[in-house]
Amino acid sequence: MASTDIANVGEAQRTRGQSMSGKKRTRRGWLDRYSALLVGVVLVGAWQILVPLSGLSEFVLPTPLAIGKRIVSDASLLMAHTYVTLLEVVFGFAIGVLMGVPLALFIFYSKAFERAIYPILVGLQTVPKISLAPILVLYLGYGWAPKIVLAFLISFFPIVISTVVGLQSLDKNLVNLVRSMGANEWQTFFKLRLPAALPNIFGGFKVAVSLAVIGAVIGEYVAAERGLGYLQLQANSQFDTTLNFATVVTISALGVILYFIIDVIEARVSYKRDAGK
Amino acid sequence: MNVPIRSTGAAVEISRLSKVYETRENDEVVAIEKVDLRFEPGTFVAVVGPSGCGKSTMLSLLAGLTSASTGDIAIDGDVIRKPHPKIGVVFQSDLLLYWRTVLDNVLLPIEIKKLDLARFRLRAEELLAQVGLEGFGNKYPSELSGGMRQRVAICRALIQEPGLLLMDEPFGALDALTREQMIMDMQAMWLRVQNTVVFITHGIDEAVFLADRVLVMSPRPGRIDLDLKIDMPRPRQWSAIHENKEFHGYVRQIRDIFEARGVLVAH
């Protein structure tokens, strides 16, 4: 029952998304649509031209072209380390979702639970997770575990908070409406509360996945034998600035790709309130 | 277009009904005090009163969304403890689910009651056509105007052929012109269905225009100050209503009560 309802929502989003983008294309100009891309190209172009003109050596600041070439030539090396980091991020984030969403449900449904847990959660959020990295390494060693735990810890909070806020921000009258139709709490949740909270929940997921990348890389900085963070430290110690930058680009790309994967999933299951405006 | 949909109106029996709220400071606020009422099947009852007179509480009690402090309400003889299956509710805001199409919004009660969706889909389309929304079934609420959205909400309440239709200031959020149109459409719609309606409103004119019976509620504690039978033939013409002596007589009686209670003050 729940799954069909969510599938319907996705259907709506898709058909609607198509008609909307069609309208936009005619209304907005080419320049308007690609303005961000254009600014990006100009900035990178300026970097490319200004580096040789300023007389900076490649060791200090490599050109974008050099970085690009290095990414291509060292693709297999970068991919091997990306794979490690990616798994850490995915596991950490997945645990964050699997624990964060149920915890948010407990906080939402139980006032006692909310009073007992919510303040502690907010208090813990003031602890910079990154500062736990050395301790986690101490406890969990050099392998996967501390990175996954760090990615989990850092992505957990935004998932819990956005889910709780999404559930709590529902108009009480809507609950009265479905109750007047004879809905039980199960139906109220799947027909009303969950679909209404999805935009918030996915907003939290997007923030969380970007943070999870940071968590995993920081974990690798502290102690690792593999992963993009490790690779970057290696490049650093060998004064290989080009590889260093190539790693930064790869880490960024990883974050962006994960963000868009969540965006695509959201488009399939959720429906934005403002899509038609 | 004019397929009559006959649903037998429900009888409503309210006896010794009181509702007392407790505030944070442990004060007691009496929202409704010892109300006794009986609505005959198929009557259009309008309830008017100032803000905070307990008329929304009354609706919430009738809908089975809040429980009474004392006394009870029976719909067709069943004393209600939770929302009765024979009711449909229209609230002040349309409360459409933005992720559902118009048709799926209208069918929501059917889905929740796990009834045959295929059978009711036709009826939903019929209802939408009757309120001038033919072909809007696949649109989304965000594509509709305020008046259209409230029409959809009314269709949603009517889909299950409710014996008792509860309306809580349904036109309160609409602009004046849309409201006039909705009042006329409401009459046409009700003449086809002729179920029991409890229509809560601030508007004295719309109450008199639409109702068989107008109940005037006093400010706290909520009691029935005046029980006015409106004896005007139907269909009534909104455009002609302002020249209608009978109409003015009824409106005058209600205003007099409000003035006596200090709800309306003449200068």
Looking at the structure of chain A, the number of domains it has is 1
* Residue B3 reports pLDDT greater than 70: no
* Residue B29 reports pLDDT greater than 90: no
Per-residue confidence at A3, pLDDT binned at 50, 70, 90? very low
pLDDT, tens digit (0-9, with 9 covering 90-100), for A95-149: 999 999 999 999 999 999 999 998 898 888 888 988 999 999 999 988 899 999 9
Q: What number of other Cβ atoms are within 10 A of residue B87's Cβ?
A: 25
Q: Report, as an integer, the average pLDDT of B254-264.
A: 85
Contact A227, A84 (CB under 8 A): yes
Instruction: State residue A273's pLDDT score.
Output: 57
3-state helix, strand, coil in chain B (%, to 5): 35, 25, 40
CB nearest to A12's CB, from B65, B85, B99: B99
Do B140 and A12 make contact, defined as CB atoms within 8 angstroms? yes
Instruction: State residue A28's pLDDT score.
Output: 64
Answer whether B111 touches A (CB < 8 Å).
yes
Give the Cα separation of B39 and B153 in Å (integer). Answer: 24
Give the ipTM: 0.88
CA torsion B186-B263-B65-B179 (nearest 10°) is 20
Query: Which residue from B minimizes the CA distance to A269?
Result: B99
Contact B124, B103 (CB under 8 A): yes
CB nearest to A173's CB, from B83, B93, B100: B93
Note which residues in 170-229 of chain B have CB less than 8 A from chain A: none
CB nearest to A8's CB, from B82, B85, B104: B104
* Test the A interface: residue of B112, B144, B167 with most A CBs within 10 Å: B112
Instruction: State residue A5's pLDDT score.
Output: 44
* Closest by Cα among B202, B201, B209, B195 to B88: B195
Do A12 and B87 make contact, defined as CB atoms within 8 angstroms? no
| Residue whose entry in the numeric block shows the structure tokens 């909310």 | A114
Contact B98, A174 (CB under 8 A): no
Do A12 and B65 make contact, defined as CB atoms within 8 angstroms? no
- Please state, rounded to an integer, the average pLDDT across all residues of chain A: 87
Q: Tell whether A58 is covered by a domain.
A: no
Could you give the percent of chain A with pLDDT greater than 70?
88
Do B89 and A270 make contact, defined as CB atoms within 8 angstroms? no
Q: Strand B44-48 and strand B213-217: pairing? A: parallel
Give the Cα separation of B68 and B60 in Å (integer). Answer: 10
Do A176 and B97 make contact, defined as CB atoms within 8 angstroms? no
Give the Cα separation of B214 and B217 in Å (integer). Answer: 10
Do B140 and A179 make contact, defined as CB atoms within 8 angstroms? no
Q: Where are the alpha helices (DSSP H) in B194-266?
A: 204-210, 245-260
Answer whether A275 touches B (CB < 8 Å).
yes
DSSP-assigned letter for residue A131: G
* Residue B235 reports pLDDT greater than 70: yes
* Residue A17 reports pLDDT greater than 60: no
CB nearest to B85's CB, from A9, A179, A182: A182
* Closest by Cα among B129, B66, B74 to B103: B129
Tokens of B109: 């009660």
Answer whether A270 touches B (CB < 8 Å).
yes
Instruction: State residue B240's pLDDT score.
Output: 83
Q: Tell whether A56 is covered by a domain.
A: no
Q: Tell whether A236 is covered by a domain.
A: yes
Q: Tell whether A59 is covered by a domain.
A: no
Instruction: State residue B49's pLDDT score.
Output: 86
* Test the B interface: residue of A173, A177, A184, A192 with most B CBs within 10 Å: A177
* Closest by Cα among B264, B257, B171 to B218: B257
- Please state, rounded to an integer, the average pLDDT across all residues of chain B: 89
Do B83 and A180 make contact, defined as CB atoms within 8 angstroms? yes
Do A276 and B95 make contact, defined as CB atoms within 8 angstroms? no
Q: Tell whether A38 is covered by a domain.
A: no
Host domain of residue A136: 2-33+74-269
Could you give the percent of chain A with pLDDT greater than 90?
71
Give the Cα separation of A86 and A217 in Å (integer). Answer: 10
Contact residues on chain A for B113, CB-CB shorter than 8 A = 181-182
Q: Report, as an integer, the average pLDDT of A189-203.
A: 95
Q: Tell whether A44 is covered by a domain.
A: no
Instruction: State residue A240's pLDDT score.
Output: 93
* Closest by Cα among A157, A143, A156, A159 to A219: A143
Gap from A116 CA to chain B (nearest CA, Å)? 22
Least reliable range by pLDDT among A204-208, B17-21, B35-39, B133-137: B17-21
Contact residues on chain A for B99, CB-CB shorter than 8 A = 9, 12, 195-196, 270-271
Contact residues on chain A for B109, CB-CB shorter than 8 A = 181-182
Give the Cα separation of A115 and A122 in Å (integer). Answer: 12
Instruction: State residue A103's pLDDT score.
Output: 95
| Residue whose entry in the numeric block shows the structure tokens 């508007």 | B203
Q: Report, as an integer, the average pLDDT of A253-267.
A: 95
Answer whether A48 touches B (CB < 8 Å).
no
Do B140 and A180 make contact, defined as CB atoms within 8 angstroms? no
DSSP-assigned letter for residue B137: T
Q: Report, as an integer, the average pLDDT of B78-107.
A: 93
Per-residue confidence at A31, pLDDT binned at 50, 70, 90? confident
Q: Report, as an integer, the average pLDDT of A51-76.
A: 91
Least reliable range by pLDDT among A14-23, A98-107, A205-214: A14-23
pLDDT, tens digit (0-9, with 9 covering 90-100), for A230-251: 999 999 999 999 999 999 999 9
Query: Which residue from A minimizes the CA distance to B153?
Result: A177
CATH number at residue A245: 1.10.3720.10
Answer whether A182 touches B (CB < 8 Å).
yes
Instruction: State residue A86's pLDDT score.
Output: 97
Do B89 and A191 make contact, defined as CB atoms within 8 angstroms? no
Instruction: State residue A139's pLDDT score.
Output: 93
Give the Cα separation of A210 and A155 in Å (integer). Answer: 8
* Closest by Cα among A18, A46, A186 to A109: A186
* Test the B interface: residue of A6, A13, A181, A274 with most B CBs within 10 Å: A181
Contact residues on chain A for B97, CB-CB shorter than 8 A = 174, 192, 195-196
Instruction: State residue A210's pLDDT score.
Output: 95
Q: Report, as an integer, the average pLDDT of A20-49.
A: 77
For chain B, helix (H) and strand (E) counts, in that order, are: 8, 10
Q: Tell whether A114 is covered by a domain.
A: yes
* Closest by Cα among B18, B23, B11 to B57: B18
Query: Which residue from A minimizes the CA distance to B166?
Result: A180
Do A180 and B65 make contact, defined as CB atoms within 8 angstroms? yes
Tokens of B99: 């992720």
* Residue A266 reports pLDDT greater than 90: yes
Instruction: State residue A166's pLDDT score.
Output: 96
Least reliable range by pLDDT among A27-31, A216-220, B245-249: A27-31
Instruction: State residue B12's pLDDT score.
Output: 93
Contact residues on chain B for A182, CB-CB shorter than 8 A = 82-83, 85, 109, 112-113
pLDDT, tens digit (0-9, with 9 covering 90-100), for B181-190: 899 989 998 9
Per-residue confidence at B30, pLDDT binned at 50, 70, 90? confident
* Residue B170 reports pLDDT greater than 70: yes
Contact A67, A245 (CB under 8 A): yes
* Residue A20 reports pLDDT greater than 50: no
Contact B218, B225 (CB under 8 A): yes
Contact A162, A201 (CB under 8 A): yes
Q: Report, as an integer, the average pLDDT of B48-65.
A: 87
Query: Which residue from B minimizes the CA distance to A276?
Result: B142
Contact residues on chain A for B98, CB-CB shorter than 8 A = 271, 273
Q: Tell whether A86 is covered by a domain.
A: yes
The listed range with the strongest mean pLDDT (A53-67, A97-111, A260-274, B182-196) is A97-111
Do B99 and A16 make contact, defined as CB atoms within 8 angstroms? no
